[in-house]
Amino acid sequence: MDTSVKNLISMGPLEDSFIYYDLGDQVFYSAKQGMNYLAIAAPIAIYSLQRLSKLLNQTFGDVSSLFNLIFFILMSLFLVFGTIFLAKSTRRNMKTDRFRKVRLTKANIKTLRRKSRWTVLVEIFCFLMILFSIYRYFTYSDFQFLIIYMLGIFSLVYMVYEFQMKTRKRLFKELMETLQDDSRGKEGDM
């Protein structure tokens, strides 16, 4: 399966696999989860970023608001476009031998739908964290809040690009309607 050609929508994790839906073929694919390196790297990254923010605060101190604004705009543009580029290149370089077609039950689709609602809450949390850190950065010129903003914007842009919540919500609605129609048809046959 060539993932660069197919338009896959990530439907989320189910048991020990990630489920993808191909919009063209209207088929579900499953890919085994690999090692989660984020769990290993997160504590190291947090410690390093905390030290970096202290160093930046000591070096620059209270900087002018014009410098803050220019740096903030450039960093925001870099993060948004860099995150989209990273997500696209990750999608293109997926190992195609890991994918296999799967047939999901009604219970599996309901589980995926329930888990997708949590993704919306995480996106809202990231958005609120971004707003708070923007306010704190411009108010106090504290680079720690700039780093929090950077992590928040990276997470939000990646989730919006990867999960495509509007498309995903429409798919879940269509799948649930199809499953209800199938169950009504089977009841009518009896």
**Given this model, what pLDDT does residue 5 score?**
42
**Given this model, what pLDDT does residue 42 score?**
64
Q: Supply 128's token pair.
A: 């609120």
How does DSSP classify residue 94? -
**Given this model, what pLDDT does residue 40 score?**
66
Residue 1: CB atoms within 10 Å: 17
Give me the percent of the chain exceeding a pLDDT of 70.
Answer: 76
Higher-pLDDT residue of 22, 190: 22
Calpha distance 137→148 (Å, rounded): 10
> Model confidence over 126-166: pLDDT tens digits?
889 889 888 887 787 777 787 788 888 888 888 887 777 78
What are phi and psi for residue 73, nearest 5 degrees?
A: -65, -45
Calpha distance 30→185 (Å, rounded): 28
The verdict on pTM exceeding 0.85 is no
Calpha distance 172→176 (Å, rounded): 6
Radius of gyration of the chain (CA): 21
3-state secondary structure of 13: strand
Candidates 4, 3, 8, 5; CA nearest to 22 is: 8
Average pLDDT value for residue range 32-52: 67
> Model confidence over 158-181: pLDDT tens digits?
888 777 778 888 888 888 787 776
- Answer whether residue 41 shows pLDDT above 60: yes
Higher-pLDDT residue of 157, 62: 157
Strands (DSSP E) found in 73-159: 99-102
**Given this model, what pLDDT does residue 94 score?**
62
